Homo-oligomer: A and B are copies of this chain.
């Protein structure tokens, strides 16, 4: 219960800018109405955001005879934001303007031998410089860069506390990056990135309570409660992939048996397919990405084995999502991550059925369950978004180093 006035003010700044980006051009009274803040508070915050070059005046609203109301709009050129998604096998970076339009992106493979902190930092540095230097992005000042790495992250300290797949413990990643990059840098994990992206520009915008299920090689859940990311006391909330789904079930790399991830993560789906049809031509040994893509294609074409594998996956996923729905009672559940994007509507339709079957009595159709509307890399977009949040925490303050 130690939320300070400053934290509340920062959260209000998020709301106002988020709403302004969604609604531009927009009047101050309309912003007040949409955010639930007082008009005085909105006026102050709009002033700060305009001072930082993020909002600009945008003419007047036709008020039908009364005094015309001034409009403000987001200034897309007020700054560029970089987001980096560092996964086990690649580094992806994107650069975005303030209206979240992607200006450039890059992706490079990360080989297992490249997973030392020094080499990962070098790969991130190269990716960031590539997008920052892209001609489409040129000329816009980069106001911040966000980096997402898997595992447990201490975002205040900029440290990767624990990244089991790389054997990292307490790696001061932001310090390594600060030697290479001249930008304000922010660190968090992919679950928090995905959730932040959905809150600012995706399916969770304007929702109080939302769950974003991230389906990839790993599996997790970003939680928005009260319209804000729930981080937990050590910034590691969301480890839903290691919720027990099947007692004494499949062995998980975490050491337990029957975790959700072993059934609905990419390797788990591949295993289900292999168990259904050990010689299936859909199976691409050593290439789970291609196997999932083939599975999705075959399912759309009516292949019965593929349909059954997707149905089984949806049934596990629905049972697990129903537990989240019973626990958290959210307005909306968003299926995100590359596996959800690949399997798409057939997965969505069957997850809806499975959740309805498993959830306790609710209003029909509640909660909404949707596919993420965000593009190819929501983690990069989300990393750029949490960088913006970091920058907003200090808008209107004197910069360190200036005389006070």
Chain A positions within 8 Å of B, measured between CB atoms, are: 1-5, 7-8, 15, 18, 35-38, 41, 152, 162, 164, 206-209, 221, 223, 225-228, 230-240, 242-247, 249, 254, 256, 258, 319-320, 323-324, 326-331, 358, 360-363, 366-367
Contact = CB atoms under 8 A, between A and B. Distances in A.
Given A208-B2, A328-B232, A330-B233, A361 B243 contact: no
Which among A209, A237, A326 has the greatest number of chain B C-beta atoms within 10 A? Answer: A326
Contacts of A362: 234, 236
Contacts of A3: 36, 208, 226-227
Q: Can you list the 8 inter-chain pairs with the closest CB atoms, starting with the nearest?
A: A232-B329, A1-B227, A4-B36, A237-B329, A239-B326, A243-B323, A233-B331, A246-B247
25 contacts: A2-B227, A3-B208, A3-B227, A5-B36, A164-B361, A209-B232, A221-B327, A226-B228, A230-B328, A232-B329, A233-B329, A234-B362, A236-B329, A236-B360, A236-B362, A238-B327, A239-B329, A239-B360, A240-B327, A243-B323, A244-B323, A245-B247, A246-B247, A247-B258, A324-B327
A226 B227 contact: no
A208 B227 contact: no
Given A233-B330, A244-B319, 8 more contacts: A1-B36, A3-B226, A208-B233, A226-B230, A238-B329, A243-B323, A244-B245, A244-B320
Nearest to A39: B5
Chain copies in complex: 2
A328 to B, nearest CB: 5
Contacts of A15: 1
Majority-rule SS of A interface residues: loop
A385 to B, nearest CB: 15
Which among A1, A323, A326 has the greatest number of chain B C-beta atoms within 10 A? Answer: A1
A360 B242 contact: yes
Nearest to A260: B323
B366 A234 contact: yes
Given A226-B226, A367-B233, A243 B327 contact: yes
Contacts of A319: 244
A41 B237 contact: no
Contacts of A237: 327-329
A235 B329 contact: yes
Contact of A1 (B35, B164, B258, B330): B35
A223 B328 CA distance: 9
A330 B232 contact: yes
